[in-house]
Structure 1
């Protein structure tokens, strides 16, 4: 006996909800023994009513208004480009915030050089993620076509450490929680200015969102302080590999011979590797050169300990999880959030003064 459209859609809702993970439309049609064309039509109607989400051939369950599911029943997917350095603290913060509310955290890794953000996000969804925290390989000068998938995600998502979108661009309707790296650079420049350094050199990468924000912050900060920005030294070679620290030290020594006595280096690892090579040019820190590192992952372990800009990376992870779980468990729609957390400056001995 034929069943009504309402009955079919209740079967679809039940199947998707009981699955616990997004289902392929073809798999859903097979499971319910309903023609695929009919399933697609019913899923479209359910999506328009806000009962399911659909993206790239998948369908996922959404709670009806007034039926929020508690955080303890939720799974949060976290996608980062690496573990072992900068993102470790973000992961730790996300894990602690999820555990505090009884939610499950699932980790995905999409290295910058592989550029498989979309595939890794899809894997997190297949593993049951109800919402996503994403730190994709998203650069201001990248192709918008590469990130169109961000606007078609079937579940709520928060971009982490990927702030300052251009209005009208892809992903600008997503929540964002990020460190204000431009403010962090300004803190470093103000500190150096207070020690009498009007000319400050920046040595930085250019292959990540943080690196580009550090560069932009340097340009803005120097002009704000009434100083002229200097040409930025790249800490990457032409093949996008870490540059030879001996060569970087030679460039800094040349700048020092022309009166530059302060350097900001992104990141800690590059700053620490520079120290012995600077000594070969007769430059010691802080006697001959004030040096500030950006990231503060390992800066305190250097000899001498490095003054460093410390982004609130752990707090970014905590804040992003709290925001995502609130969006997942609150029946009332929330406005899109843009949450910028300010770095701090850890004063050590590498600047003197």
Structure 2
């Protein structure tokens, strides 16, 4: 059976082949009835575009490079879900690579994506320097999460982690807790440092002296959260609540507390950061700071598509465009009565 062409669609829809091409690219401003006629013809003829031919003609590969850190990260996967949802129906396909929080690996992966002739790059957080971002953007447009840079060829969006750390700690203080421990994320990760600053600011604002013995290093993963509990308990440190740098850390902390005979929230209240999908189903369900992970993925993808298509980008701060941080209260916290 002969494969349908743009000319076949044009004849069936009663429009020109150039109009069909523009509608398929999403760049045509035509009457709604013409658009519907073309869409119906595409379905009737089961049209499948020749992507190789389109690439040669337009100079576009219709692929977008995506740099994440770990393929098994629930945080990155939630952001990637926002990216994929946005790309549905656009003709663009993501190529995903991992950087493992290693600046050298990240640069190698980004250069690999550029060598594959991607039309643009999305960075779902990482350690690439602003200077490197600017240099790479001379070859392809880039949109990144976790950075503070906006040029003609590089756009970025960043969550206010310091505010989130303050909100989490302030919430525990308002419940009556004073001895609040904090399990920090990766030592060289900006978000971890900012959340620690927010934790300290909340204590200071409540007139509580910062106790470095209640701050334990984690790694943004379950293993680190579990190990941090052992450090706290074995060290005889007094605490009634814990603010974890992210939800994955909190999952590990939940297990660690149980292993030491402590109940959440009866003995220890626990707060995470992210509001990952599993946090609704942890035991007990986790109180956490909700940040717009999925929405950030959507915004990253929309911004990159606009840059590729030459549309003017709205120069707004991320906090004006995305939902604000909020505390999602569940069953892992309660008022302190001790």
TM-score bracket, normalised by the shorter chain, equals 0.5 to 0.7
Structure 2 distance, partners of 1:94, 1:255, is 45
Q: CA deviation at 1:253?
A: 6.7
Aligned residue pair count: 268
| Residue 144 of structure 2: aligned partner | 159
Structure 2 distance, partners of 1:261, 1:269, is 20
Q: 1:243 to 1:193 in 2, by over 3 A?
A: closer
Q: 2:229 aligned with 1:248, yes or no? A: yes
Note if contact 2:142-2:153 (Cα within 8 Å) is conserved in structure 1: no
**Which has the higher relative contact order, 1 or 2, with Cα contacts under 8 A spaced 6 or more apart?**
1
Q: 2:307 aligned with 1:344, yes or no? A: no
SS in 2 for 1:277: helix
SS in 2 for 1:111: coil
Note if contact 1:175-1:338 (Cα within 8 Å) is conserved in structure 2: no
Taking only aligned residues, the RMSD between alpha carbons, in angstroms, comes to 3.4
Q: In the TM superposition, what whole-angstrom CA distance separates every residue of 1:207-253 from its partner, at most 9, and x where no partner exists?
A: 433323322322333334444333221025xxx99548356334157
Note if contact 1:200-1:230 (Cα within 8 Å) is conserved in structure 2: no
Structure 2 distance, partners of 1:74, 1:310, is 33
Pairing of 1:217-228 with structure 2 (within 5 A):
217-228=198-209
Q: 2:283 aligned with 1:290, yes or no? A: no
SS in 1 for 2:117: coil
Note if contact 1:115-1:137 (Cα within 8 Å) is conserved in structure 2: no
Q: CA deviation at 1:281?
A: 4.2
Q: 2:310 aligned with 1:330, yes or no? A: yes
Q: CA deviation at 1:131?
A: 1.6
| Residue 89 of structure 1: aligned partner | 78
Q: 1:127 to 1:188 in 2, by over 3 A?
A: same
Note if contact 1:192-1:262 (Cα within 8 Å) is conserved in structure 2: yes
SS in 2 for 1:186: helix
Structure 2 distance, partners of 1:163, 1:201, is 28
* TM score, norm. by length of structure 1: 0.65
* TM score, norm. by length of structure 2: 0.68
Q: Which stretches in structure 2 are left out of the alignment for 5+ residues?
A: 1-57
Structure 2 distance, partners of 1:337, 1:81, is 27
Q: Which stretches in structure 1 are left out of the alignment for 5+ residues?
A: 1-68
